[in-house]
Amino acid sequence: MKMGEFLKKVFVEKFWIKAASLALALVVVVLLNIA
Amino acid sequence: MGIRLLSATERLWKIKDGLFGFFNNFTVMFGVEIFLFFLLIYYVSKVLRDNDATKLMLLYWGLIVVGCALNVFAYTLVDRQFLLFYVALLSAFMLFLFNVEVKKSLWDVHSAKTNPSEKLTAGGIETRTQAETEHCITNVIKALQNMSKNNVGALIVLSKGSLPKQVLQSGVVIEAEISTQMIEGIFFPKAPLHDGAMIIHGHKIQAAGCFLPLTQKTSYPKDYGTRHRAAIGITEVANVISLVVSEETGIISIVKQGNVTRYADYDMLVDALKDYYWQEMPLGDRRRGGLIK
């Protein structure tokens, strides 16, 4: 697999799920703790 | 209305102040909370994504955002505890929808590294030359036509790596180069793998003898047997193309997104296979014009 494809796979297919999950987790925890 | 807007503005100011307070007084417990929520949301998202339910995953994220927005703008309706239960119940509901897959993935945790079919779902398709691709297309069509002539039933699924793991795990991993003899050999009536589906991924026969989900729709003709129903069923749950040879009539059918095209001739099969390999072909090869009609 070429490096470009590998990076696309990691960042486009995997990273964005982790990033979105982390962002949502952060928002939820912030809202839970500043009530 | 004015009172509501005022309370929403007040709430936003309160959140702004609270936000500063949150980051100024950041403790390890907050970090642990964020990590646990991240694990929960990521696991649910991964389960949905792995089972080709990306739209449901986006809906899940959207519902969490809606819950958070309600917490900000309608605090009396959605308070702290409600938000906590809302996220937990929403996640549990999403996992419940895929309870069989979740159960299976939990049982398979220990063998995930050694199971070759796991890595097969990663979708790494090797790019090949145009000649090799055309060779694959010719071999598949030749095999289909030979089986059609001899009334040998066959079901081939052209996968783009989005098949549910369970489908691959239900069969036997082959990882062989595509050849007419190999395909005909697998579907030979007395062969042990002839009764299931063959999965082609890129330029390889990935697996054979796989069990597919059957379509539950009743609108299809009564003469469609289990093989046709499986061919339709898999195109309803995954982005794949199914090629079916009827055992009774020898008719070749192409199934895309639940739509069946019967009496597929040579040209239609070439079109379907070129359509499949189109996305796998490198841009350079596509521009050279080989696979573009």
Each residue of B137-155: pLDDT tens digit?
Answer: 999 999 999 999 999 999 9
Among partner residues B21, B45, B71, which is closest to A31 by beta-carbon distance?
B71
- Nearest chain A residue to B280 by CA distance is A5
DSSP B220: S
Percent of chain B with pLDDT over 90: 32
Alpha carbon distance B270, B141 (integer Å): 7
Percent helix, strand, coil in chain A, to 5, is 90, 0, 10
pLDDT recorded at residue B141: 93
For B171, counting Cβ atoms within 10 Å of its Cβ (0-12 exposed, 13-18 middle, 19+ buried), the class is buried
Would the CB atoms of A28 and B83 count as touching at under 8 Å? yes
pLDDT recorded at residue A14: 66
Q: Which amino acid is at B293?
A: K
Would the CB atoms of A25 and B72 count as touching at under 8 Å? no
Mean pLDDT within B191-217: 90
Percent of chain B with pLDDT over 70: 84
Residue A12 tokens read as 């486009």
pLDDT recorded at residue B145: 93
Contacts of A21 in chain B (CB under 8 A): 38, 41-42, 45
Mean pLDDT score across all residues of chain B? 81
Would the CB atoms of B30 and A29 count as touching at under 8 Å? yes
Window 60-99 of B, Cβ < 8 Å to A: 61, 64-65, 68, 71-72, 75, 79-80, 83-84, 87
Alpha carbon distance B171, B208 (integer Å): 6
Give yes or no for residue B252 having a pLDDT over 90: yes
Would the CB atoms of B38 and A30 count as touching at under 8 Å? no
B115: pLDDT confidence band, cut at 50, 70 and 90?
very low
State how far the alpha carbon of B68 is from the alpha carbons of A26, B42, B84, B102, in Å.
Answer: 11, 17, 10, 27
pLDDT recorded at residue B188: 92
Q: Give the count of Cβ contacts less than 8 A between chain A and B.
A: 71
Mean pLDDT within B160-165: 79
B223 or B232, which is more confident: B232
Mean pLDDT within B90-114: 73
Q: What is the per-residue DSSP string for B116-177?
A: HHHHHTT--PPP--HHHHHHHHHHHHHHHHHHHHTT--EEEEEE-S-S-HHHHHTSEEEEEE
Residue B230 tokens read as 């499986």
**DSSP H/E element including B186:** helix B180-187
pLDDT recorded at residue A13: 60
B122: pLDDT confidence band, cut at 50, 70 and 90?
very low
Give yes or no for residue B127 having a pLDDT over 60: no
- Nearest chain A residue to B65 by CA distance is A24
Give yes or no for residue B1 having a pLDDT over 60: no
Q: Does A23 touch chain B (CB under 8 A)?
A: no
Give residue-wise pLDDT tens across range B24-71: 777 888 889 999 999 999 989 988 887 778 889 999 999 999 988 888
Contacts of B123 in chain A (CB under 8 A): 9
B110 or B114, which is more confident: B110
Contacts of B14 in chain A (CB under 8 A): 34
- Nearest chain A residue to B81 by CA distance is A32
B101 or B261, which is more confident: B261
Alpha carbon distance B272, B289 (integer Å): 17
- Nearest chain A residue to B33 by CA distance is A29
Give residue-wise pLDDT tens across range A1-35: 566 666 666 556 668 888 899 999 998 888 888 75
pLDDT recorded at residue B78: 73
CB count within 10 Å of CB B78 equals 19
Closest CA to A32 of B265, B282, B32: B32
Alpha carbon distance B141, B254 (integer Å): 12
Among partner residues A9, A26, A35, which is closest to B34 by beta-carbon distance?
A26
Contacts of A31 in chain B (CB under 8 A): 15, 68, 71-72, 80, 83
